Amino acid sequence: MNARSIFTKILTYTGLLALAIAVVGGGVGYLTAGSDGLWSALLGVALAVVFAGITASTMLVAIRFRLAAFFGIVMGAWLLKLVVFIVLLVVVKDQPFVDDVVLFLSLVVSIVGTLAIDALVVVRARLPHVSDAELPAAPRD
């Protein structure tokens, strides 16, 4: 297993988690707060999953570059995500269709779920300390 397959697996499992939380969270949101609860739950799941997907996608792109560029890409994406996330929450919180409690709970469940997926996939992966390395040819006597 290499790093690319790990992040691909993370993206796949995150998509499945998003579907499950959207169905369950949307249903619970609808039962507790009507259509506002449904839209709030779907919005919370979408925000969390999009940002988690951006993380894994950024890593898939960044692993192609040297170490300095890798860290630059990852940190740049992280800072951009943080700013965009805060701006989106400020914009969304004043919308009439948002139920704050449902949005908050769906965000928390989605974020914890994506973090659990990241941790489980990485822990279960059999990635050697040096992946995708090629050794030089053996010397000839």
Tens digits of residue pLDDT in 21-33? 999 999 999 999 9
- Per residue, the 3-state secondary structure of the chain, as one string, reads CCHHHHHHHHHHHHHHHHHHHHHHHHHHHHHHHHHHHHHHHHHHHHHHHHHHHHHHHHHHHHCCCCHHHHHHHHHHHHHHHHHHHHHHHHHHHCCCCCCHHHHHHHHHHHHHHHHHHHHHHHHHCCCCCCCCCCCCCCCCC
Residue 26 inside a domain? The answer is yes
Residue 139 inside a domain? The answer is no
- pLDDT of the residue at 57: 86
Low pLDDT (below 50) residues in the chain: none
Residue 18 inside a domain? The answer is yes
Residue 23 inside a domain? The answer is yes
Tens digits of residue pLDDT in 51-73? 888 888 898 889 888 889 999 99
- pLDDT of the residue at 130: 65
- pLDDT of the residue at 138: 85
Residue 88 inside a domain? The answer is yes
What is the sign, positive or negative, of the torsion defined by CA atoms of 27, 32, 34, 40? negative
- pLDDT of the residue at 27: 94
- pLDDT of the residue at 54: 86
The number of distinct structural domains making up the chain is 1
Residue 60 inside a domain? The answer is yes
Residue 94 belongs to domain spanning: 3-124
- pLDDT of the residue at 131: 60
| Tokens encoding 12 | 């796949």
Residue 21 inside a domain? The answer is yes
- How many CB atoms sit inside 10 A of residue 122's CB? 14
